[in-house]
């Protein structure tokens, strides 16, 4: 006598085994990534925590490790980020709005579209050399904060344009139609129906793009030429340095103390970076609750 | 019945209207009169061009690239397709409610006030919002939570909110594009009741898949059918009573008796 259900089905246990193996593999991937990140963090914190002192933050670089600090680099980074944001946000968001809402669909716009995605993948040193030849030499901006910010803007513009376009694209067509049907012209539709809904996404894009810029060393090496700077930049035409360069400089010194300093610098850079990302998450959640209730 | 003998003022006069999407001809030489303070239903099988025709009345088709329109629609003695007319002006006089409720992710109040803001309304917004919500029979349900997000409303309430949003800017004509197809039967009845009340003050054109609905709410019915080349044509238009009892054309009779759909 046979029942309809085969209790000892071998194919079922085989399928279950395959499922289990797959989950194990995925979990392993998560573990590797997590362990990598954690060991990095733990090592940096162990090496650097005793170096995170007011000296590190408020002093200028020095030959004596216990007196050395990254004040010039910290202010340089913040100054450059501010200028970069001022340049990138209007240009990037404007370009995204134009490409999504106004540009006719023809070969030119698809050409621009493909190339924006490609540009987002270009190695950052290439942007550094481009900035060096255009801004530093051709436009004679010298090795100034302005030249650095313009270079950094070029680097993050493609990323910002891409994320902003995605945010604008994700606004339902029905919202646009509704606004048009109420007698809105295109600008009103964009301003009142599209941008408010796309705003959290655009904001996330801005902060993620800027947090990419904050950690970039390669293009800044090309622009600043690894100088030893013991002053805080005041005008956009002043020379400057940034934190990744200062850290790089310390790492490459032979004394052990400087390696500790570098770790301390990394901790501060990470704090800056993580707080920017947290702001992005908080702002996004705050505005998204309203649009997806 | 004497409905078919009643002569109403013509609100919108369609003359030899053809619509092309690129090389594809979607509608061919439609001519019809839409009467004032009447409900006109556009019926026909899927793909017959009834939504395309509806979108001609407020020039929504202009938003699709490569759309070409021939012929005229006369509204208030002007051809809305003449060069001098900006579609933006037309749309503030001829409002539209869509198939799926599409409120903005804003508060109930801001949704209704949206069109007023766009059209630069100066005056008492609270009064206008209240009036529009009363007209769309939603006021009693939302008056205590005007600042809640529109998405907290049910589907039927959202659709009535969209009606209120369209009514707030005081249009003459309201276009309804299958307004109940995404709603449950109870919400549908509420919208139909609303249409019956609104026609006192507005001219209404409704596209519907549901023939019972056309029979229930409309005074005039136009039957469209796509022939060879999938190009939509107006088969006939008459008083709803007549279309549903003694249609003139055989195609109409076949369609309303369900011989094809």
Contact list, A172 vs chain B (CB under 8 Å)? 102
Cα gap A14→A5, rounded to integer Å: 17
Task: Give the pTM.
Answer: 0.82
User: Does residue B134 or residue A293 have the better pLDDT?
Assistant: B134
Closest partner residue to B149 (CB to CB) among A182, A196, A293 is A293
Closest partner residue to B104 (CB to CB) among A178, A180, A183 is A178
Residue A236 within a domain: yes
Residue A169 within a domain: yes
In DSSP terms, which residues pair with B74 in a beta bridge?
B13, B79
Mean pLDDT is lowest, of A164-173, A219-228, B42-51, for A219-228
Q: Strands (DSSP E) along A120-185, which ranges? A: none
- Residue A1: pLDDT band (50, 70, 90) is low
- What pLDDT, on a 0 to 100 scale, did the predictor assign at position B2? 44
Could you give the dihedral angle defined by the CA atoms of residues B250, B15, B214 and B229, in that order, rounded to the nearest 10 degrees?
50
Query: Measuring CA to CA, which residue among B31, B21, B34 is closest to residue B176?
Result: B34
Q: Domain residues for A182?
A: 59-292
As a 3-state breakdown, chain A gives helix, strand, coil percent values, each rounded to 5, of 75, 0, 20
Bridging pattern class, strands B173-177 and B94-97: parallel
- What pLDDT, on a 0 to 100 scale, did the predictor assign at position B1? 41
Residues in Cβ contact with B87 at an 8 Å cutoff, skipping those fewer than 6 apart: B58, B59, B62, B80
Closest partner residue to B88 (CB to CB) among A105, A183, A290 is A183
Mean pLDDT of A230-259: 87
Query: Measuring CA to CA, which residue among B62, B55, B194 is closest to residue B132?
Result: B194
- Chain B, 121 to 150: residues with Cβ < 8 Å from chain A are 149
B96 at interface of A, judged by CB pairs closer than 8 A: yes
B102 at interface of A, judged by CB pairs closer than 8 A: yes
Cα gap A291→B152, rounded to integer Å: 11
A84, A216, A237, A268, B70 from A229: Cα distances, Å: 21, 19, 14, 19, 71
Low-confidence ranges of chain B (pLDDT < 70): 1-7, 260-261
A124, A183, A237, B117 from A83: Cα distances, Å: 19, 39, 12, 35
B169 at interface of A, judged by CB pairs closer than 8 A: yes
CB-based contact A182 B92, cutoff 8 Å? yes
Best of A183, A292, A293 to substitute, by most chain B Cβ atoms within 10 angstroms, is: A183
B63 at interface of A, judged by CB pairs closer than 8 A: yes
Query: Measuring CA to CA, which residue among A182, A51, A89 is closest to residue B87?
Result: A182
Residue A13 within a domain: no
Backbone angles phi, psi at A204, to 5 degrees: -60, -45
CB-based contact B95 A181, cutoff 8 Å? yes
**Shortest alpha-carbon distance between residue A228 and chain B (Å):** 53
CATH of the domain at A145: 1.10.3720.10
User: Does residue B169 or residue A289 have the better pLDDT?
Assistant: B169
- What pLDDT, on a 0 to 100 scale, did the predictor assign at position B104? 93
- Residue A126: pLDDT band (50, 70, 90) is very high
**Shortest alpha-carbon distance between residue B128 and chain A (Å):** 15
Q: What is the DSSP string of A22-87?
A: HHHHHHHHHHHHHHHHHHHHHHHHHHHGGG-SHHHHHSPP-SSGGG---HHHHHHHHHHHHHHHHH
Q: How large is the C-alpha radius of gyration of chain B? A: 18
Cα gap A208→A280, rounded to integer Å: 8
Best of B66, B104, B174 to substitute, by most chain A Cβ atoms within 10 angstroms, is: B104
- What pLDDT, on a 0 to 100 scale, did the predictor assign at position B139? 93
Does the complex come out with an ipTM higher than 0.85? yes
A247 class by beta-carbon count within 10 Å (0-12 exposed, 13-18 middle, 19+ buried): buried
**Shortest alpha-carbon distance between residue A166 and chain B (Å):** 18
Residue A26 within a domain: no
Structure-token match 């797959």, residue found:
A22
Number of domains in chain A: 1
Q: Show contacts of A113-117: CB within 8 Å, 24+ apart.
A: A116/A158, A116/A161, A116/A162, A117/A158, A117/A162
- Chain B, 190 to 229: residues with Cβ < 8 Å from chain A are none
Structurally, at CATH architecture level, domain B3-256 sits in 3-Layer(aba) Sandwich (3.40)
B179 at interface of A, judged by CB pairs closer than 8 A: no
Mean pLDDT of A223-236: 81
CB-based contact B149 A174, cutoff 8 Å? no
- Residue A285: pLDDT band (50, 70, 90) is confident
Q: Is the pLDDT of residue A291 over 60?
A: no
User: Does residue A231 or residue B145 have the better pLDDT?
Assistant: B145
Scanning every residue of chain B, which has its alpha carbon at the shortest distance from the alpha carbon of A177? B60
User: Does residue A281 or residue B134 have the better pLDDT?
Assistant: B134
- Residue A290: pLDDT band (50, 70, 90) is low
Q: Is there a contact between B38 and B3 (Cβ–Cβ < 8 Å)? A: no
Contact list, B58 vs chain A (CB under 8 Å)? 181
Domain extent listing, chain B: 3-256
Q: H/E element holding B31?
A: strand B24-35
Q: A2-43, pLDDT tens digit by residue?
A: 677 777 777 888 889 999 999 999 999 999 999 999 999 999
Mean pLDDT over the full length of chain A: 88
Scanning every residue of chain A, which has its alpha carbon at the shortest distance from the alpha carbon of B151? A293
Contact list, B178 vs chain A (CB under 8 Å)? none
């Amino acid at each position: 006598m046979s029942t309809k259900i085969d209790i000892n089905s071998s194919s079922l246990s085989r399928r279950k085994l395959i499922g289990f193996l797959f989950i194990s593999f995925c979990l392993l991937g998560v573990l590797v990534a997590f362990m990598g990140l954690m060991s990095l963090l733990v090592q940096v914190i162990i090496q650097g925590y005793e170096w995170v002192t007011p000296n590190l933050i408020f002093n200028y670089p020095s030959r004596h490790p216990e007196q050395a600090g990254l004040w010039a680099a910290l202010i340089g980074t913040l100054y450059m980020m501010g200028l970069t944001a001022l340049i990138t946000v209007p240009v990037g968001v404007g370009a995204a709005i134009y490409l999504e809402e106004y540009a006719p669909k023809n070969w030119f716009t698809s050409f621009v579209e493909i190339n924006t995605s490609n540009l987002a993948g270009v190695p950052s040193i290439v942007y550094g050399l481009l900035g060096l030849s255009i801004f530093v030499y051709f436009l004679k901006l010298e090795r100034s904060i302005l030249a650095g910010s313009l270079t950094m803007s070029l680097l993050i513009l493609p990323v910002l344009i891409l994320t902003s376009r995605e945010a604008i694209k994700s606004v339902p067509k029905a919202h646009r139609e509704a606004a048009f049907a109420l007698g809105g012209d295109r600008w009103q539709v964009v301003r009142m129906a599209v941008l408010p809904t796309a705003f959290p996404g655009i904001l996330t894009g801005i902060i993620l793009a800027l947090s990419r810029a904050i950690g970039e060393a390669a293009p800044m090496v090309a622009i600043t030429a690894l100088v030893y700077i013991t002053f805080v930049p005041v005008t956009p035409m002043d020379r400057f340095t940034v934190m990744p360069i200062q850290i790089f400089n310390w790492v490459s010194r032979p004394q052990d103390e400087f390696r500790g300093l570098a770790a301390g610098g990394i901790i501060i850079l990470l704090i800056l970076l993580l707080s920017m990302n947290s702001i992005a998450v908080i702002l996004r959640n705050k505005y998204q609750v309203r649009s997806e209730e | 019945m004497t409905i078919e003998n009643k002569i109403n003022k013509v609100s919108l006069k369609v003359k030899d209207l053809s619509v092309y999407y690129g090389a594809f001809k979607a509608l061919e030489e439609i001519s019809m009169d839409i009467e004032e303070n009447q409900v006109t239903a556009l019926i026909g099988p899927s793909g017959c061009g009834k939504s395309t025709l509806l979108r001609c009345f407020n020039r929504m088709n202009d938003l699709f690239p490569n759309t070409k329109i021939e012929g005229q629609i006369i509204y208030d003695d002007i051809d809305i397709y003449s060069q001098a007319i900006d579609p933006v002006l037309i749309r503030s006089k001829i409002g539209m409610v869509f198939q799926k409720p599409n409120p903005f992710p804003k508060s109930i109040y801001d949704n209704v006030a949206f069109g007023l803001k766009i059209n630069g309304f100066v005056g008492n917004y609270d009064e206008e919002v209240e009036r529009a919500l009363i007209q769309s029979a939603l006021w009693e349900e939302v008056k205590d939570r005007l600042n809640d997000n529109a998405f907290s409303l049910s589907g039927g309430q959202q659709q009535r909110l969209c009606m209120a949003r369209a009514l707030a800017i005081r249009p003459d004509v309201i276009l309804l594009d299958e307004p109940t197809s995404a709603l449950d039967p109870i919400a549908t009845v509420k919208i139909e009741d609303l249409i019956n009340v609104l026609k006192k003050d507005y001219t209404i054109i409704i596209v519907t898949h549901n023939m019972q609905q056309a029979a229930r709410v409309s005074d005039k019915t136009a039957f469209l059918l796509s022939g060879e080349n999938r190009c939509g044509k107006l088969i006939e238009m008459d008083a709803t009573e007549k279309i549903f009892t003694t249609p003139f054309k055989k195609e109409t009779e076949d369609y309303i008796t369900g011989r094809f759909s």
